[in-house]
């Protein structure tokens, strides 16, 4: 440091001596000062110009030069910073390379997208699952390469669904599950995996359950017939009658279970087109529901509001399944002295809503999301109430099939409200008698 400033002090001293000599010999101190100052400025300017050229060329280490004045400090500082920067760059590059290698080794196709859904990067599996090639497709918009409308709709609005399943653009027989993960400012990752095996397994399991239920129906009908015949027997002992009652109860349960399994496999089969389905009278649904409730001694506590002017477009047996399952649950899971309110009404969005409100034990918040899984039964229900765990799965799938939204609102200790909202394109009405009814207050 001392050296640097001594260089500057030396140069100033030389300038002062030159100024003195010039002034003394010429006798014109003004001209002498101008000349000395000009020379000094030129000398400084030359050094700065050289520095500027070195910076412009990228402060290369190979072209670094010596300057013993203050310019030297700048050179050394810049040189040092460049060295640190290069070290960091090398480290980041290595890290990036390692990360690339790791992501490329993932079995899932991974595609990095920018705000406009242009491809910035993709790994190897993206080639054989999504038909994306790197580097050829980098910079292109995803929609120009994969022309699947459901994928594009999902990518633009992923909040509607957690993931989607589509056929692979490489092989339509391969089903892929696609998930979008957003990160940073406007960046996202598309992650796709081959789920054909799971899908096939699910399909065969579904078919097996549907076939088995179908096959079980005939023997059960025969058993049921024989049990009914035995009921008429006069000379049966007390214990024989008790056994008969138990056998009848179990056969009844089995019949319900088979019906539920068959209905579930039916509602899962395909998605209903908006104009598909028969015209269903809501008041006729009431008749079917009342028949199903006949077995409950406490059915009088169920208050039904099924307006006569409302009609739905859909599959009658499936809508009936929604009604019966939700009302039966409300009876099963609430005390016999508490009312159950069952209503069909039109919301302010011109959608028909079916809701069932009870004042039962209610459901814990963490449990709600699991209720629609098939065979799921609540801890307490398993011990206290008989059931198959299929009811709410049927409701969920039947609602999905009709484009409806199934919602559960519940508060432990207070009760629950189960509602199914049908889209307006499914709602038909007798306009003369139409009037809107406000929704029930939520718990």
Residue 421, interface with ligand ADP (CB under 6 A)? no
Residue 69, interface with ligand ADP (CB under 6 A)? no
CB of 204 to ligand ADP, least distance (A): 23
Q: Which is nearer to ligand ADP, 32 or 390 (by Cβ)?
A: 390
Q: Which is nearer to ligand ADP, 285 or 393 (by Cβ)?
A: 393
Q: Which of 123, 359, 416, 419 binds ligand ADP (CB under 6 A)?
A: 416
- Number of residues located near ligand ADP, criterion CB under 6 A: 21
CB of 375 to ligand ADP, least distance (A): 8
Residue 376, interface with ligand ADP (CB under 6 A)? yes
One-letter-per-residue 3-state SS of the chain: CHHHHHHHHHHHHHHHHHHHHHHHHHCCHHHHHHHHHHHHHHHHHHHHHHHHHHHHCCCCHHHCCCCCCHHHHHHHHHHHHHHHHHHHHHHHHHHHHHHHHHHHHCCCEEEEECCCCEEEEECCHHHHHHCCCCCCCCCCEHHHHCCCHHHHHHHHCCCCCCCEEEECCCCCCCEEEEEEEEECCCEEEEEEEECHHHHHHHHHHHHHHHHHHHHHHHHHHHHHHHHHHHHCCCCCCHHHHHHHHHHHHHHHHHHHHHHHHHHHHHHHCCCCCCCCCEEEEHHHHHHHHHHHHCCCCCHHHEEEECCCCEEEEECHHHHHHHHHHHHHHHHHCCCCCCCEEEEEEECCCCCEEEEEEECCCCCCHHHHCCCCCCCCCCHHHHHHCCCCCCHHHHHHHHHHHCCCEEEEEEECCCEEEEEEEECHHHEEECHHHCCCCCCCCCC
Q: Which of 177, 361, 419, 421 binds ligand ADP (CB under 6 A)?
A: 361
Interaction residues for ligand ADP, span 327-346 (CB under 6 A)? 329-330, 333
Q: Provide the mask over 268-297, with x wherever binding to ligand ADP is found by CB under 6 A and - wherever it is not.
A: ------------------------------
Q: Which of 377, 397, 401, 402 binds ligand ADP (CB under 6 A)?
A: 377
CB of 373 to ligand ADP, least distance (A): 8
CB of 195 to ligand ADP, least distance (A): 25
Q: Which is nearer to ligand ADP, 117 or 390 (by Cβ)?
A: 390
Residues that bind ligand ADP (CB under 6 A): 325, 329-330, 333, 358, 360-361, 363, 371, 376-378, 381, 387-393, 416
């Amino acid at each position: 440091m001392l050296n640097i400033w001594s260089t500057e002090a030396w140069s100033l001293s030389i300038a002062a001596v030159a100024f003195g000599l010039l002034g003394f010999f010429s006798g014109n101190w003004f001209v002498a000062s101008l000349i000395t100052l000009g020379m000094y400025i030129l000398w400084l300017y030359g050094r700065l110009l050289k520095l500027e050229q070195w910076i412009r060329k990228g402060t290369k280490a190979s072209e670094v030069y010596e300057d013993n004045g203050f310019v030297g400090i700048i050179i050394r500082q810049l040189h040092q910073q460049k060295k640190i920067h290069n070290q960091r760059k090398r480290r980041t590059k290595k890290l990036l390379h390692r990360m690339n290698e790791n992501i490329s080794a993932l079995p899932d196709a991974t595609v990095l997208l920018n705000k406009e859904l242009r491809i910035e990067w993709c790994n190897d599996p993206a080639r054989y699952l999504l038909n994306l090639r790197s580097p050829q497709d980098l910079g292109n918009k995803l929609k120009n390469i994969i022309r699947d409308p459901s994928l594009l709709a999902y990518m633009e609005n992923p909040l509607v669904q957690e993931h989607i399943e589509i056929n692979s653009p490489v092989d339509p027989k391969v089903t892929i599950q696609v998930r979008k993960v957003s990160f940073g400012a406007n960046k996202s990752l598309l992650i796709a995996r081959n789920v054909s095996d799971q899908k096939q397994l699910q399909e065969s399991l579904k078919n097996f359950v549907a076939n088995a239920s179908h096959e079980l129906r005939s023997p059960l009908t025969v058993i049921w017939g024989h049990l009914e015949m035995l009921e008429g027997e006069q000379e049966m002992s007390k214990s024989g009658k008790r056994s008969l009652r138990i056998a009848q109860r179990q056969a009844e349960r089995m019949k319900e279970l088979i019906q539920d399994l068959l209905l579930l496999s039916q509602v899962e089969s395909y998605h209903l087109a908006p104009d598909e389905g028969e015209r269903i009278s809501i008041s006729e649904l009431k008749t079917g529901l009342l028949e199903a409730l006949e077995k409950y001694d406490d059915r009088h506590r169920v208050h039904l509001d099924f307006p006569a002017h409302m009609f739905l477009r859909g599959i009658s047996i499936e809508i009936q399944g929604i009604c019966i399952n939700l009302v039966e649950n409300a009876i099963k899971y609430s005390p016999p002295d508490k009312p159950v309110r069952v209503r069909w009404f039109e919301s302010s969005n011109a959608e028909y809503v079916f809701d069932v409100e009870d004042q039962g034990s209610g459901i814990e918040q963490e449990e709600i999301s699991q209720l629609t899984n098939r065979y799921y039964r609540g801890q307490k229900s398993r011990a206290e109430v008989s059931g198959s765990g299929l009811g709410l799965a049927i409701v969920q799938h039947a609602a999905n099939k009709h484009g409806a939204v199934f919602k559960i609102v519940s508060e432990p200790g207070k009760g629950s409200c189960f509602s199914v909202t049908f889209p307006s394109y499914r709602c038909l009405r007798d306009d003369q008698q139409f009037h809107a009814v406000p929704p029930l207050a939520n718990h």
